[in-house]
C-alpha cells in the first residue's frame, strides 16, 4: 500500500503513536486524564454529559505497552488500509468513530473507566472486512482462513482468563462489541451499497 492511498489509516496510527510516546515518556496522568472516557468510576459519564463527546472516541489512542501498540497498529494498517483503498477514507473514519464509541461505551458500563487501546476497533475492522469478503463481490478481498482462525483464537484466549495469570488485563467487552458492531455495519453497507464499485475498483 502506498502512503498516498491510505492517509486516514496513517493518521490513526500517527495519533496513536504520539499519544503512546507522550503517555510513556512525558506525563502518564495528564495524557490519561484527557484520553480516558471518564476519570470517574460511577458509570455516569459526567464529562461526556457535560459536552466532552470526544471522550467516547479518545480511549482508542491510549496504549499501555510496546506490544500493545505494535500489535494494534499492524492490524490497523492492514485492515484499515484495505477498507480505505477500496471504500474510501470517509467510510473508514466513520467505521472507526462508530465502533470506537460503541466498544468504549459498553466496556465502560461493564468495567469502569480504566481501559484503553485500539483493539476494539481492530476487531471491528476485522469483522467488517470478513463480512464484506463474504457478502460483497465488489469489495474484492476475502480474508484467509488462517487469519480468521488466528483472530478468533486470540479473541477466545483473551476471554478464557489465561492472560490474567500473567497480570494482563484485557478489554474483552470492547473486543466483543467491536467485532459485532463491525460485522453489523458491514452487512448494512452490503445491503445498501454492495452493488457499487467503490473508488473505481473492479473485482478480478
Q: Which three cell numbers stand for residue 135?
A: 457478502
Residue 36: helix, strand or coil by DSSP?
A: coil
CB-CB contact of 204 with 140 (8 Å): yes
Of 16, 38, 103, 119, which residue is the catalytic one? 119
* DSSP output for 61-117: G---SHHHHHHHHHHIIIIIHHHHHHH-HHHHHHHHHHHHHHHHHHHHHHH-S----
DSSP secondary structure code for residue 42 in this structure: S
The yes-or-no answer on residue 68 being catalytic is no
The yes-or-no answer on residue 160 being catalytic is no
Of 63, 103, 175, 181, which residue is the catalytic one? 175
Q: State the catalytic residues.
A: 119, 175
Amino acid at each position: 500500500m502506498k502512503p498516498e492511498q491510505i492517509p486516514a489509516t496513517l493518521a490513526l496510527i500517527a495519533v496513536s503513536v504520539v499519544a503512546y510516546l507522550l503517555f510513556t515518556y512525558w506525563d502518564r496522568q495528564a495524557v490519561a486524564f484527557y484520553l480516558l472516557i471518564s476519570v470517574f468510576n460511577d458509570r455516569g459519564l459526567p464529562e461526556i454529559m457535560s459536552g466532552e463527546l470526544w471522550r467516547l472516541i479518545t480511549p482508542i489512542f491510549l496504549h499501555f505497552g510496546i506490544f500493545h501498540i505494535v500489535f494494534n497498529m499492524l492490524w490497523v494498517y492492514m485492515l484499515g488500509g484495505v477498507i480505505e483503498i477500496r471504500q474510501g477514507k470517509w467510510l473508514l473514519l466513520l467505521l472507526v468513530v462508530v465502533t470506537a464509541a460503541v466498544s468504549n461505551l459498553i466496556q465502560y458500563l461493564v468495567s469502569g473507566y480504566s481501559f484503553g487501546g485500539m483493539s476494539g476497533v481492530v476487531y471491528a475492522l476485522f469483522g467488517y472486512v470478513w463480512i464484506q469478503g463474504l457478502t460483497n463481490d465488489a469489495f474484492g478481498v476475502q480474508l484467509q482462513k488462517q487469519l480468521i482462525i488466528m483472530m478468533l483464537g486470540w479473541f477466545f484466549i483473551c476471554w478464557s482468563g489465561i492472560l490474567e495469570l500473567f497480570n494482563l488485563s484485557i478489554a474483552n467487552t470492547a473486543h466483543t462489541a467491536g467485532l459485532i458492531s463491525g460485522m453489523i455495519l458491514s452487512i448494512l453497507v452490503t445491503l445498501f451499497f454492495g452493488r457499487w464499485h467503490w473508488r473505481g475498483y473492479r473485482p478480478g
